[in-house]
Amino acid sequence: MKITKVETIPFGVPIKQFADAYSSFNRSNAVLVKIFSDDGTVGIGEACAWEPEFYGETLESVSSSIQKYIAPRIVGQNPLDINRIMSIVDSTLARITCAKEGVDLALFDLAGKILNVPVYVLLNGCFRDRIPIACEIGIDTPEVMARSANDLLNMGISVIKIKGSDNVDEDIRRVKAVREGVGSKVKLRLDPNAHWYTHESIRVMRELEECNLEYLEQPVHGLDLHGMTKIRESINIPLMADESIWTPEDVLELARCGAADIINIKIAKTCGLLLAKKVEATAEAAGLRCVVGTEIEPGFSLAAKLHLAASMKNLPFACEFTEVSLLQDSILRPKIEITDGYIKVPEGVGLGFDVDEEALMRCRFDL
């Protein structure tokens, strides 16, 4: 069995206006990746391409990287040799993660279809058939963010992450307004996306102690492990690492420094599912808990997150699916549904979804 062709389709799904500390946007851009095998089976993946301010990858660069550099190296390979193929991809292009994510997910979908099993089987099996979800509210005035939080409650989502900014005093007002608006029983998280400083982070968390946050996520720069360690030692809630974590080696260094309690696994950062499982295993060995995070995925990467979360032994927190509250269209068939704050894990072969071709045509770009 051999890979015969790799196809890329840039697209962007409209979303409700959303802002984090990096940027503001109203579309989730990605590149659909199709990998064809000589038996006629097609695997479908998706490469995140919506926030070049963070990833440094764009629709154009992702498409070009896959077509000009990756595809010529993997055509002719056995599609079931995922580890080997991703090693070839790594030796072809260093550092980039989003383009590799698209190839990785397409390979897992293809292998699942060839073997007639869901992707979670390829990730060593399933621990749960539904995933508890959390959603984010983007940066805005305290009043608007409080209303956004209540909109999520009306959707049945009771775990909410508040995005922070480089204005810590305004962030304090935002968190207090959201807590007052949703009441004491809703779980709240806070994520300044690495835009605070160490001393600010400690002061803010002391002022927000009465808000009873579930955890604080990556308040300082991803390379500032000294700052993360000092913050962790100074606050009374768990500290999550996000921008600090890209590889299993990052987990080891974070654990060595005592710089976090929780690891946020984002498949756009781990080049897909293969490395995500290695990050999870390393975190488990180091005694760190994990959450599956969001990059406002528009389609098949959303599906991949469900399989990853289903396969994780330890999943003490709701996983992030902000996209389900923001997407204004869907290229997936069937559509994702939320029931009592959970999303059901797909049971079909591969990632368990097909492309809604009409929706894809509405959303695709010609570069």
Annotated catalytic residue 266: yes
Q: How far apart are CA 263 and CA 23, in angstroms?
A: 23
Residue with tokens 């089987």: 121
**Torsion sign over Cα 78, 80, 83, 89:** positive
Give the whole-angstrom CA distance, residue 321 versus residue 315: 15
Strand partners, 34: 7, 44
Give yes or no for a contact between 2 and 38, defined as CB atoms under 8 angstroms apart: yes
User: What span, in angstroms and rounded, lies between the C-alpha atoms of 224 and 227?
Assistant: 5
**Distance from C-alpha of 269 to C-alpha of 281, rounded to nearest angstrom:** 16
Q: Are 321 and 83 in contact (CB under 8 A)?
A: no
Select which of 34, 161, 163, 269 is catalytic. 163
DSSP string for 188-253 = EEEE-TT-S-HHHHHHHHHHTGGG--SEEE--S-TT-HHHHHHHHHH-SS-EEESTT-SSHHHHHH
Phi, psi of 224 (to 5 degrees): -90, 70
Distances (CA, A) of 76 to 3, 79, 83, 90, 307: 5, 9, 15, 17, 27
Cα separation, 34 vs 42, whole angstroms = 6
Question: Which among 34, 266, 269, 277 is annotated as catalytic?
Answer: 266
Active site amino acids: 163, 266
